[in-house]
Amino acid sequence: MKRFTFLKAFNSPFNRPKLKWYIGKIAIGTPYFYPRRWVKATPELAKEATIEEIERFRKWNRKNPDHKRKIPPFNEIYESKMQHTYAKPKRFGFDFVSLGWKTKWTDTDFRFE
C-alpha cells in the first residue's frame, strides 16, 4: 500500500488537474504561447522584415515631426536581418514554454501578472 501513497493527492481538498483541448485559430491572446518553430533567415524573410522596419521608421517620422529618426540604408538593415531567426507557426504540435509575465503599472506601483 505504501507504493500508492501518492494517490492521497487525489483525495485532498485541491481540484484535480483537467486536460482541455482546443482546435482552431486563437482570436485573443499573445503570440508568446503560440506553438512555433524557429527558422534561420532566408533572403525572402529578411527582405520582408527590412521593409517592415523601414515602414516603422516612416510611421514614427510622420507621427513625430519634431523628433524624426534617420532611416538607415536598406542594405544595412537587410544585413542585420539576415543574422536573425524568425518564428513560424506550427500546423500541429506542442510547445512547452516557461512562464511569461507582463508588467502593468499605475501612477504609484508596478505589478506582474
Residue 76 domain flag: yes
Give me the pLDDT at residue 42, please.
Answer: 94
Residue 41 domain flag: yes
Which long-range CB contacts under 8 A does 109-113 form with residues at least 24 apart?
Answer: none
In whole angstroms, what is the distance from residue 68 CA to residue 61 CA? Answer: 5
Task: Name residues of the chain where pLDDT drops below 70.
Answer: 1, 6, 8-17, 22-35, 94-113
Give me the pLDDT at residue 91, please.
Answer: 75
Contact 71, 58 (CB under 8 A): yes
Contact 87, 37 (CB under 8 A): yes
Give me the pLDDT at residue 43, please.
Answer: 95
Give me the pLDDT at residue 97, please.
Answer: 60
Rg of the chain over CA atoms, in angstroms? 23
Range of the domain at 53: 36-92
Domain count, the chain: 1
Residue 78 domain flag: yes
Residue 1 domain flag: no
- For the question of whether the overall pTM of this predicted structure is more than 0.75, the answer is no
In whole angstroms, what is the distance from residue 83 CA to residue 46 CA? Answer: 9
